[in-house]
Structure 1
Amino acid sequence: MKLIAGVDIGNSTTEVCIAAIKDDNTLEFLSSSLTATTGVKGTVDNVTGVINGLTEALKKIDKNISDLSLIRINEAAPVVCGAAMETITETVITGSTMIGHNPSTPGGVGLGVGEIIHIKDLPDAAKKKSYIVVIPKEIGYEEASRIINMSFENDIDVKAAIVQNDEAVLINNRLKKTIPIVDEVRQIEKIPLGVVAAVEVAPEGKSISTLSNPYGIATIFDLTPEETKYVIPISKSLIGKKSAVVIKTPKGQVKERIIPAGNLLIIGSTMSSKVSVDSGAEAIMESVEEVGTIDDVEGEKNTNVGNMIKNLKSKMSSITGQKIDKVKIKDIFAVDTTVPVKVEGGLAGETSMEKAVVLAAMVKTNALPMIEIAEKLQRELGVFVKIAGVEAVMAALGALTTPGTKLPLAILDIGGGSTDAAVIDEKGIVKSIHMAGAGELVTMLIDSELGLNDRYLSEEIKKNPIGKVESLFHIRMENREIKFFAKPLNPRFYGRIVILKENDMIPIFKEDLTMEKIIYVRRQAKYKVFVKNAFRALTKIAPGNNLRQIPNVVLVGGSALDFEIPEMILTELSNYKIIAGRGNIRKVEGPRNAVATGLVMSYLG
């Protein structure tokens, strides 16, 4: 009897399966492990993670690495994701500032238009003008309200106020007249004095309506049609805000800078296709299908997509040690999305949601990195290491250990960076495909569309349901159920949306996000990536490219554990009368360990 190990190096995790080959040439599965992948998949940095996984799995059966006769590893192709944005016009307002501010407690209500004046100059202001008063942090709310009330009495027309401290409500409560007040403006010293501005605070429960409308801004500042075109990014960035300030340019000058998205050149073995990123994800994917087998993808120089493609190849070149011209893109997957783009001239980090195309690109290198991994493992462990097979084929073999499956059988292995699919017919012939786009792309979409700029938080939103803390003793979950607690919750969670991770709660401290929006973005991201890519992969491996020729699909890999994905894919595949569900590898592993198990099984042919 001898011990062999199957090792699946994934983008996020490394899985190990240990089995014994008996004297009668039969297999006995003994143990398994799941550890974090070290380094980028398909590089020598993976060796540490492989050793960790082997050590953990062998420890469960009181064995050491020296007891192994053979280690079989998968062909691990690196997969990386990058984003290329559609053409965006950035508006730079010369010599001015714009505040698309949204403090949690603005004061007053309404729209005020006037000339900006410092509060210390207000008592001496002319009576024939309307003013917006700027109140720096050294002027407290009592002093500020006293000066403004005195101005009212002296017929000085104060229309609104911009405050540096968090004191809008305190000032408003002491005024004899209600005016819109925006506070928490950190860089108040950058606001130019003596120019015209507009301040708007929405009524309770509503959002601003005038300053979020380009024609509303045009009306206030008497803009020409040409000038109105340039304030569109400003108005878009203010949609949904409770309050805002827009300050007119002293000279009315604007600068326009176009950032081209650029063209993609998709090079196939028999034909090539050029497609503009501006045309969107659907047009890009049509070109991908038209080309067929992809040999490489290039991006137009000095464009967003050109820089993205260049960066991906440069990154893989430095990681693998190969020349950049030897690094080829094997597949791309495009998804339409929106991303927050910073509006130039803002003082509070204002962003405008702009259309974008996110691309997942699978970078293909030669066999050298995998050979280096095998050689380094062999040197360090003293055990023979063999590069044993394509991931999708190995996953299909492992999936056959799921109870209730039979041939013909298709598998979907949805990982962090790629989606693999394979089908085994009644004769045992396997057809497989390896495609870009999976879990990491979904995380990227959630992060960009919710404007979080926090990949960890976006990953947790992807993997877990959410709820809202409605009191210190109960939460309302996203399925509308109410969960009660015997002990009070952390007070900082009160009124917050929280991620329900096992027995823990992770608060989301972003004021403008609702539970409904988070759920919608999360599900749409999963549908656009997991479901669409699953159909793309299965169609390519189906007999005659006809999905109805596939009777059974087993979902394997980490993403098959997701609380939404299997049901989403099952629902869509049911339209083709296909039975689909999570795998249960060797009756004990669930959807995990399919590739590692298949690597061991393939040893016996």
Structure 2
Amino acid sequence: MKLIAGVDIGNSTTEVCIGSVGEDGSFHFLSGASRMTTGTKGTLPNVHGIKSALLEALDKIRQPLSALDLVRLNEAAPVIGDTAMETITETIITESSMIGHNPSTPAGAGEASGYLLHLENIWKGKTGVPYIVVAANKFSYEEVAARLNQHIPELDIRGLILQADEAVLVENRLNKQIPIIDEVRHISRVPEDKLAAIEVALPGTGIRMLSNPYGIATLLGLNPEETRAVTPIAKSLIGKRSAVVIRTPNGNIRENVLPAGEIHFHGSRELSVNIDTGADSIMETLQKAGQIRDISGQQNTNVGNMLDRIKKSMTDVASDRDQEVRITDILAVDTLAPVEISGSLAGETCMEKAVGIAAMVKTKHLPMQKIAEKLEQELKVKAVVAGVEAVMASLGALTTPGTRLPLAILDMGGGSTDAAVLEENGTVRTTHQAGAGELVTMLIQTELGLGSRTTAEQIKKYPMGKVESLFHMRLENGSMQFFEESIDPGYYGHVVLLAPGEMLKVEEDIPMEKILEVRREAKRKVFVRNAVRALKIVAPEHDLRKISNVVLVGGSAEDFEIPEMLTEALAEYRIVCGRGNIRGTEGPRNAVATGLLMSYLSS
């Protein structure tokens, strides 16, 4: 009896399947395991993850590594995702020329404009001049309120800017109601004697004047050129409850414009498309270019720099010359990305149009043979590169109960979406498309402005709820869930992710409805679009109506909403679509590793 291992190296996970082959040709699946992929898919660091997964799978059947007779590896093509920005005008501000701010706990309501006056210099104020007072942390809220009350009768004080988070505490002690902005971290940047405008909206509403460039122009008396320069600040304040904008005419404003640039497709036809035209136009041009040899970007542009960076990051994969590193497919999706406004007081950002791109990078010879050789050295077990992912996934999908030939599969992983059609006569048509789970995570992180990629990954994987009392939460589908025991008070008022057996708090203050919209739209842009694109390539005569059923495999097929999205999208073509259940036990996972074992019998 021989022990054979099938190993599927994915962008996110490395999966293993162990089987035995008897002398009479009988075959039995014994165990499987999954571990995080170590290093970039298709590189030598993968060996560590492969070894860990093999040890786990063998431990389940109480066998040592030395018991293995053969390891069969998939062909691993790495896929790298990145974002390319639309044309961005970066306003570089010296002397804090124009600043936007959005504290979360303002006080009062309304808008006001006036000249900035530091609290310690309030005695220098002049009668008849409108002022907005600025108070640093060195003053307590009692002292701020007392000093203002002392000078309110003689000075025209119209607003207040605080460094501390104490707007409400000060407002409760003032003799006059004024709009108050707090949480200005870099208050030392606020220049004195300059004209400023502040606005605080009523609860449940957003500001109107300072989120409108013409509103800012009205309050600060800007000319048309200055109004254009302040537009990024106005955009950054849309939907906010409060804001402050400061004008310093002596500040130097200069613009540094880096064009978005063109993507060049080198295929059956040489075609180019400007990234400004958006994702739909990019993907249409890609299709018209035919069989792609390489994809490059216009030099000294956003997209050119991005594609160059992707190729350079693959130099550890390629032993060939740099020009042998090629991008053979991309998936482009429209998105929005936060861009920090230079000179801002509290790290304010402005949402700008962006194009998210997943690129499939290939070298002349993928170093899979080197991985096999290194495995042989470390494990003292023969290792071979045995099959193409999509073909192996098709064979593995056939172990799903209720399937038969002809069979179409969608293998949705972390970096790529593979599709294949396996005909009754044994012929297989396959395609390997860039873009899957990693791109979705990147889009969620970018559009929500999350600091942690881990949070974005969790948002992608788990449904949500909002804790509205210590005994109930509102779920994302609108229903209520009640608890017999009190919820941890630390979750109160927060959006939480409902992971198996625990709640994960989303630290960022983002409405649940916004997170839901971004999550679903990111999945539709990537998975639905890529599924249709891939299936059309492998379908007989490129006609989706000639595919009767599709089995979903891969890590992303385990998602709680992607299979339903795909079922809905493919329904118009009368395609039956559902999650696979590999070997009747593994769910949609382990299809490629299982297929590698099955292909051994026919090799």
* TM-score, normalised via structure 2 length: 0.98
Residues 43 and 320 of structure 1 are in contact (CA less than 8 Å); yes or no, is this contact kept in structure 2?
Answer: no
Match of 1:438 in 2: 436
1:294 is paired with a residue of what secondary structure?
coil
Amino acid of the structure 2 residue aligned with 1:144: V
Deviations 1:398-442 (A, max 9, x none): 001111111111000000000000001121110000010000000
Aligned ranges 1:398-477 → 2 under 5 Å: 398-477=396-475
Deviations 1:504-541 (A, max 9, x none): 11111222x11111101000000000000000000000
Match of 1:46 in 2: 46
Deviations 1:251-305 (A, max 9, x none): 375322212111111111x221111111111111111101121111111111111
Match of 2:62 in 1: 62
Match of 2:212 in 1: 213
Match of 2:100 in 1: 100
Aligned equivalents of 1:134, 1:160: Cα separation in 2: 9
Aligned equivalents of 2:439, 2:338: Cα separation in 1: 17
Match of 1:86 in 2: 86
Matched, 1:527 2:524: yes
Deviations 1:541-562 (A, max 9, x none): 0011100000010000000000
**Offset of 1:37 from its aligned partner?**
1.2
**Offset of 1:355 from its aligned partner?**
0.2
Aligned equivalents of 1:243, 1:515: Cα separation in 2: 21
1:427 is paired with a residue of what secondary structure?
coil
Aligned equivalents of 2:24, 2:331: Cα separation in 1: 47
Match of 2:5 in 1: 5
Aligned ranges 1:9-408 → 2 under 5 Å: 9-154=9-154, 156-251=155-250, 254-268=253-267, 270-408=268-406
Aligned equivalents of 1:150, 1:138: Cα separation in 2: 19
Residues 273 and 282 of structure 2 are in contact (CA less than 8 Å); yes or no, is this contact kept in structure 1?
Answer: yes
**Offset of 1:236 from its aligned partner?**
0.3
Q: Please report the RMSD computed on the Cα atoms of aligned residues, expressed in angstroms.
A: 1.3
Aligned equivalents of 1:466, 1:524: Cα separation in 2: 16
Deviations 1:143-197 (A, max 9, x none): 211121122222x100101011111111111111110111111110110101100
Instruction: Identify which range, 478-487 or 496-505, moves more after superposition.
Output: 478-487
Deviations 1:102-154 (A, max 9, x none): 32321111111000011122233110210000111111111211121122222
Residues 96 and 344 of structure 2 are in contact (CA less than 8 Å); yes or no, is this contact kept in structure 1?
Answer: no
**Offset of 1:487 from its aligned partner?**
2.7
**Offset of 1:319 from its aligned partner?**
4.0
Amino acid of the structure 1 residue aligned with 2:67: D
Residues 102 and 244 of structure 1 are in contact (CA less than 8 Å); yes or no, is this contact kept in structure 2?
Answer: yes
Deviations 1:180-233 (A, max 9, x none): 111111110110101100011111111111000111011112222232222111
2:498 is paired with a residue of what secondary structure?
strand
Amino acid of the structure 2 residue aligned with 1:194: D
Residues 317 and 367 of structure 2 are in contact (CA less than 8 Å); yes or no, is this contact kept in structure 1?
Answer: no
Instruction: Identify which range, 461-470 or 293-302, moves more after superposition.
Output: 293-302
Aligned equivalents of 1:305, 1:122: Cα separation in 2: 51
Amino acid of the structure 1 residue aligned with 2:563: P
Matched, 1:592 2:599: no
Aligned equivalents of 2:250, 2:102: Cα separation in 1: 27
Amino acid of the structure 1 residue aligned with 2:499: K
Residues 420 and 434 of structure 1 are in contact (CA less than 8 Å); yes or no, is this contact kept in structure 2?
Answer: yes
**Offset of 1:43 from its aligned partner?**
0.7
1:380 is paired with a residue of what secondary structure?
helix
- The 3 A distance-change label for structure 1 pair 252 and 215 is farther
1:241 is paired with a residue of what secondary structure?
coil
Aligned equivalents of 1:2, 1:143: Cα separation in 2: 83
Aligned equivalents of 1:525, 1:588: Cα separation in 2: 30
Runs of 4+ in 1 over 6 A off after TM superposition: none
- The 3 A distance-change label for structure 1 pair 98 and 490 is farther
Aligned equivalents of 2:317, 2:134: Cα separation in 1: 53
Amino acid of the structure 2 residue aligned with 1:529: V
Match of 1:483 in 2: 481
Aligned equivalents of 1:22, 1:215: Cα separation in 2: 80
1:153 is paired with a residue of what secondary structure?
coil
Residues 197 and 245 of structure 2 are in contact (CA less than 8 Å); yes or no, is this contact kept in structure 1?
Answer: yes
Identity %: 57
**Offset of 1:488 from its aligned partner?**
2.0
1:55 is paired with a residue of what secondary structure?
helix
Residues 19 and 600 of structure 1 are in contact (CA less than 8 Å); yes or no, is this contact kept in structure 2?
Answer: yes
2:293 is paired with a residue of what secondary structure?
strand
Structure 2 gaps, min length 5: none
Structure 1 gaps, min length 5: none
**Offset of 1:97 from its aligned partner?**
4.5
Residues 97 and 249 of structure 2 are in contact (CA less than 8 Å); yes or no, is this contact kept in structure 1?
Answer: no
Residues 208 and 241 of structure 1 are in contact (CA less than 8 Å); yes or no, is this contact kept in structure 2?
Answer: yes
Aligned equivalents of 1:490, 1:319: Cα separation in 2: 48
Aligned equivalents of 1:109, 1:373: Cα separation in 2: 65
Amino acid of the structure 2 residue aligned with 1:192: P
Residues 101 and 241 of structure 1 are in contact (CA less than 8 Å); yes or no, is this contact kept in structure 2?
Answer: no
Aligned equivalents of 1:331, 1:432: Cα separation in 2: 14
Matched, 1:557 2:554: yes
Report how many residues are paired: 602
Match of 2:545 in 1: 548
**Offset of 1:94 from its aligned partner?**
4.4
- The 3 A distance-change label for structure 1 pair 119 and 387 is same
**Offset of 1:99 from its aligned partner?**
4.2
Amino acid of the structure 1 residue aligned with 2:598: M
Aligned equivalents of 1:177, 1:386: Cα separation in 2: 80
